[in-house]
Structure 1
Amino acid sequence: MAETAKPAPAPEASAGPVSAAGAYLAAGVASSEADYAAAVEWYGRALSGDPANPALLQGALMAHVGTGDMVGAAKLAQAFQAAGGKSQIATVVLIAGDAKRQDYAAILKEQAAGGSAGAVLDDLVKAWAKLGLGRMSEATEAFDKMAKTKGLEAFGLYHKALALASAGDYEGAENILSGKAGGSFPLTRRGLIATVEILSQLERNPEAVALIDRNFQPGTDLEIDDLRRRLDAGEPLPFTIVRNAGDGIGEVFYSMANAVKGDADASFTLLHARAAAYLRPDNTEAILLVAGLLEQQRQHVLATAAYATVSPSDPNFHAAEIGRANATFAAGHPEAALEILQALARTHGDILAVQLALADGMRREKRYDEAFKAYDAAIKMVPNPGPGHWVLFYSRGVVSDALRHYDAAEADFRRAMALNPNQPELLNYLGYSLVDQGRKLDEALGLIKRAVLMQPDSGAILDSLGWAYYRLERYRDAVLPMEQASQRMPVDATVTDHLGDVYWAVGRKREAEYQWRRALSYDPDEKLAARLRLKLAKGLDAVLAAEGAAPLKPVAAAAAQP
């Protein structure tokens, strides 16, 4: 397995003075790896000797954006422009700073001077800036122009609706969002919340409830559940999505980030998501997007910091804490991650996702007794499980299997199969578990074959198929799937060990020993490592005899079996 590239060392960790060229090169390496914190340090050192260098300023301002320091980024963007530089990054940062101060004239001045954040953003931002200056008719004309532009209709209509609602014209906003004016367009979750709040302002709570019921399943989104409860109680919901022009510009940045995520470069999406979260610190969707992008870029420490900005009073706090725990796991701090999940379970233990996250975390760290308790608690929260709940029983079964409670594990696997019979992961696990125990081998083989048909390229499932053939003493049949599994999972100690056993069983003993040596190099657990060493020293036949296991059948005899 290729070694993961290490982040550029921070200047404090460097031995001796670093030249300006060295700092520049280190900053470039850090930037290429999205190591924003190191990039901030290295660019800072490089700029100390060349403070007006446009290339250094441009790199530094994106590094500051990456760390979430939008104020520091704005200062660098101003210096970049003073040095004659122009870029989309600098313009986005400057617009965000101006919008934060509600200096809408400065935004228009920046655009007039040639600053551009991209054609779509320029038009939307200009419209919102004009609204902020009280020029409502010019703003709506700009939104209308975009709404008539092929491919941009949804952007223009959505932002015009938000602008009308922010000015108190809820009737006009609802006509747009409902499709009565200008045609229909798909609404995001945030757009649906805006529509719900607008309907409530129009004293149409029952319609708002119906809209929620058409688009959301109860219990899957706590914020939506809370909105529905308040609507049912007759409470008029305030319009919160966009309260002023600054909020509108923040929504522009979020709209762009949400539209390009997964397609554009992660840093480009992060730039707009950071700007959105800066202008609306209560936009939890923007914060979660920022954190997710940082995790995608393997900046787990920055991701945990982003998740931590979500308020405990936010309905999505539990989702942010689960994300923070996952990022903490990824950063290599499992105990700290489990502490986050345990604390969350104490305050939000009535949420299914919380119990499931705690259980998954405990299982990940092989704390199986605690994992079982959490899975058990999660299952008790679902009195009438449906097809989507198969994973709860599957996961509890995996833990029971690890605890060697095989009957309980099998019962859970079969309950999961009754709920959702066509899950290859489930079929494979039950089949492999039965094979490993030497029980119901014919049924086990059938389960695994079904899984292979569903996922023919899965190394884990091919390993199970090969191992089932081996346990059924069909050694020659085992060779091909085990080789295919090894090709797909080339550095997995267990798969490589299995391939060695299969080779030994068909008489390819030198190849078997080679595979066992490979398996030893892949950091197996101590139990497997000890068995590998014994096989290399004495051979598989001797190890099986010492373990009291049945001896391998001669290949010819094994091949004669139906």
Structure 2
Amino acid sequence: MSSSSRPALAAALTAVLALALPSAGSAEAEPTTADREITAETVVVPAAQGLAGAYLAARVAEAETDFREAAYWYDVALQLDPGNLALIEGGLYAVLALGEFERAGPLADALAAGPMEDVQLAAFVQDALQIGAEDWAGLLQAKADGRQVGPVLDELIVGWSRFGDGKVSEALKDFDALASKRGLEAIGLYHKALALAVAGDFEGADAILSGSAQGKLNLNRRGVIARVQILSQLERNEDALALLAQAFGTEPEPMLDALRASLQTGETLPFDVVTGAKSGLAEAFFTIAALLRSDADPSYVLIHSRIANFLDPTNADALLMTAQSLEELGQYNLAVETYAQISPDQPVFYSAEIGRADALYAAGDKEAAVAALQGLTESHSDLVVVHSSYADILRREDRCADAVAAYDAALALVDDVQPMHWSLFFSRGVCHEQLKDWPKTEADFRRALELRPGQPQVLNYLGYSMVDRGINLEEALSLIEKAVKAEPESGYIIDSLAWAYFRLGRYDEALKPMEKASLLEPSDPVVTDHLGDVYWMVGRKREAEFQWHRALSFSPTEKDAERIRKKLEIGLDQVMAAEASAPVEAQPEAATTHGG
């Protein structure tokens, strides 16, 4: 795929587009894509817009990763200029990102037949369609003729195509050849093990996955489940149960619970992670997508996961990855639709609902997001992650009392508290802090630190909370200094350090870290307000007033805004004196606590 042909041109193209398209108030204004069928057969080309307008609209939509809008406008442009390879490539990218392979096929063939050198995008679609049709001989010929999607995938495609063509021994040699290359050992061996299992050689498959054949493999979740199924096929259910406990622990989870139940009753699990060459190649695309997630552009990951979805619609993990990639690209409505494809009877439904709720929230439908998670706490009431996710979204909505109850429900399900549970105590502590319950706040933060010593967020929040209350200031400073050492470029944590110096009356020492925090968080109202306070106390009063005005422009809470306005009116000294003489329960906090 020619990624260089897709720069983020939204701003510039929008300006040009304003000249090319009719105004929103025009009688000829187009309906939104939600109101029209996006197929080449039904597109109506607005004469007033012409090719330039359609092309620019497509590029703007593409730059904003609005794949539906881009697909529509490329269809419009291609009706006016059917042989334009740039339009074909753009349209192909959009429909592939949407997972619409029937529409993608003719575009891929047209692009591959043209004079362009970089036709990787077309090769992806052509390979996927031939795999879907199980045209193994045709695929092998296409690879021999030089069609390429990428060195690792090409080798996996050849291996699984030979397997599908009945040439199992040759396929195993292909996987061995891939495994012989430095850095690709695990991929080659994993797919060889899957092929052996599909062929019925479960002992050979387990020898690879266990590490006894050619060294230990770090298996992902699907790899572990594949080995569990293989062990069951070998009548080793006890070993399979032990592997599940070692890899995933014992907390309830629908898919794992179903596996455990079947194994405990002596049932032989079917081997269905991969069932043949077609699903083996779906796994190959998913494997590469998973490897790409940490480094590659989400749109590139999306192409791989879309192909995995197309080849094996039962691979729920690939469907979740597609939805997550769409979220990363800001396509929240498409993500919601993708999550919704996982039905309630599937074991991973709870994961899909948590993802759908996050996407709904990001799309602005907060009520629906909260309702989705509330419903999940009723249908999946035995899952810690469900209650903690519900608690998290309530906390984001400032419903802290309800959030505390949800965190309580999550922790009640934890029989054996482990280091991984630190975040539950921390998050509940944040809610207790917002509810002004300091004893419970401190208890939760200190429990979180017992479970995860040195965790910078907890160190910072506990230290900042004590600073804000004017208690244990020396300990608070020590906690925050440890947090800064762990995350020296966190503006919020550095702000906490400066604020601790401020509350200790060490104003000159507060200046340098506060200025650094302001550079790292230039539009945060709390940090900016704090910078103004430090400037005031070191005698730079005009600069202090300037920073307070800036803080007001960054939409602080009304409580903080009222205090800032008072400082601008009478000065920080008089505000602090008035607060010192006020009853304790009536004293406002210096600023809203933040934990980074």
Residues 193-232 of structure 1: pairs in structure 2 closer than 5 A:
193-219=225-251, 222-232=254-264
For residues 261-300 of structure 1, the C-alpha deviation after alignment (integer angstroms, 9 at most, x for no partner) is: 3233332222111101111122122122222222222222
Of 169, 192, 200 in structure 2, the residue corresponding to residue 160 of structure 1 is 192
1:466 partner letter: A
Give the TM-score of the pair, scaled to structure 1.
0.89
Partner of 2:336: 304
Residues 1:252 and 2:271 are matched in the alignment? no
Match of 2:547 in 1: 515
Contact 2:159 2:172 in 1 (8 A): yes
Give how far 1:404 is off: 1.6
Offset, 1:48: 1.5
Distance 1:118 1:435, change over 3 A: closer
What residue number does 1:74 align with?
105
Of the structure 1 ranges 409-418 and 80-89, higher mean CA displacement relative to structure 2 is found in 80-89
Match of 2:72 among 41, 61, 64: 41
Contact 1:434-1:441 within 8 A present in 2 as well: yes
Aligned residue number for residue 396 of structure 2: 364
Secondary structure of the residue aligned to 1:263 is coil
- Find the aligned partners of 1:502 and 1:408 in 2 and give their Cα distance: 31
Give per-residue Cα distances to partners, 1:315-372, cap 9 Å, x unaligned.
2221221112122222222222111111111111221111111111011111112111
In structure 1, the partner of 2:421 is 389
TM-score by length of 2: 0.85
The reply on whether 1:446 has 2:467 as its aligned counterpart is no
How far has the Cα of 1:84 moved from its partner?
A: 5.9
Q: CA offsets per residue over residues 89-114 of structure 1, 9 Å max, x none?
A: 22221222232233334433543554
2:459 to 427, 431, 442: 427
Q: Name the counterpart of 1:54.
A: 85
Cα offset, 1:233, TM superposition? 2.0
Q: 1:127 to 1:432 in 2, by over 3 A?
A: closer
The answer to whether the Cα contact below 8 Å between 2:111 and 2:119 also exists between their aligned partners in 1 is no
Q: Does 1:475 find its partner at 2:507?
A: yes
Partners of 2:176 and 2:481 lie apart in 1 by 58
CA contact (8 A) 1:11 1:42 kept: no
Q: Structure 1, residues 410-439: CA drift from partner, whole Å, max 9, x if none?
A: 232233334334222212212222222233
1:73–1:93: 8 Å Cα contact kept in structure 2? yes
Higher mean C-alpha displacement, 518-527 vs 115-124: 115-124
> Structure 1 pair 16/496, CA: closer, same or farther in 2 (3 Å)?
farther
- Contact 1:396–1:412 (CA under 8 A) maintained in structure 2: yes
What SS is found at the alignment partner of 1:12? coil
CA distance in 1, matches of 2:266, 2:427: 41
The aligned runs of 1:309-324 (5 Å cut-off) are 309-324=341-356
Displacement of 1:219 after TM fit?
A: 1.8
In structure 2, relative to structure 1, the CA distance for the partners of 1:5 and 1:341 (3 Å cut) is farther
Q: From 457, 461, 464, give the equivalent of 2:496.
A: 464
Cα distance in structure 2, aligned partners of 1:415 and 1:171: 46
Q: Does 1:188 align with 2:188?
A: no
Question: What are the residue-to-residue correspondences of 1:525-536 with 2, within 5 Å?
Answer: 525-536=557-568
RMSD of aligned residue pairs (Cα, Å): 2.7
| 1:181 Cα deviation after fit | 4.4
- Whether the 8 Å contact between 1:128 and 1:139 is mirrored in structure 2 is yes
Letter in 2 for 1:329: Y
The separation in 1 between residues aligned to 2:503 and 2:178, in whole angstroms, is 66
Are 1:246 and 1:279, in contact at CA under 8 Å, matched by a contact in 2?
yes
Q: 1:131 to 1:445 in 2, by over 3 A?
A: closer
SS at structure 1 position matched to 2:49: coil
Q: 1:153 & 1:420 partners in 2: Cα distance?
A: 34
Query: Aligned pair 1:524/2:543, yes or no?
Result: no
Moved more, 500-509 or 116-125: 116-125
Tell me which of 13, 20, 23 is aligned to 2:54.
23
Distance in 1 between residues matched to 2:205 and 2:361, nearest whole Å:
44
Describe the shift of the 1:472–1:51 C-alpha distance in structure 2 as closer, same or farther (beyond 3 A): same
Q: CA deviation at 1:165?
A: 1.9
* Counterpart contact for 2:112–2:123, Cα < 8 Å: no
For residue 522 of structure 1, report the CA deviation from its aligned partner: 0.9
The equivalent of 1:119 in structure 2 is: 151
Q: Shift of the alpha carbon at 1:83?
A: 4.9
Amino acid at match of 1:66: A
Single out whichever of 483-492 and 81-90 deviates more from structure 2.
81-90
Could you tell me which amino acid in structure 1 is paired with residue 367 of structure 2?
E
Q: CA offsets per residue over residues 6-43 of structure 1, 9 Å max, x none?
A: 79799635998323123223323332333322211221
Residue 549 of structure 1 deviates from its aligned partner by 4.3
Q: Give secondary structure in 1 for the equivalent of 2:31.
A: helix
Q: 1:554 corresponds to which residue? A: none
Residue 175 and residue 403 in structure 1: after superposition, are their counterparts in 2 closer, same or farther (change >3 A)? closer
Amino acid at match of 1:24: Y
Question: Relative to structure 1, is the Cα distance of residues 138 and 413 closer, same or farther in structure 2, using a 3 angstrom cutoff?
Answer: closer
1:493 shift after superposition: 0.4
Corresponding letter in the other structure for 1:370? D
Gaps in structure 2 of 5+ consecutive residues: 1-8, 18-28, 34-45, 583-596
Aligned to 1:402: 434
Deviates more, 1:305-314 or 1:485-494: 305-314
Percent identical pairs in the alignment equals 50
**SS of equivalent to 1:102:** coil
Mind listing any 5+ residue stretches in structure 1 that lack a counterpart? 551-562
Q: Which residue identity does 2:552 align to in structure 1? A: L
Question: How many matched pairs?
Answer: 547
- Relative distance call for 1:237 and 1:332 in structure 2 (3 A) is same
In structure 2, the CA distance between the partners of 1:11 and 1:272, relative to structure 1 (3 Å rule), is: farther
Aligned partners of 2:10 and 2:63 also within 8 Å:
no
Amino acid at match of 2:280: G
The partner residue of 2:322 within 266, 290, 293 is 290
Amino acid at match of 2:338: A
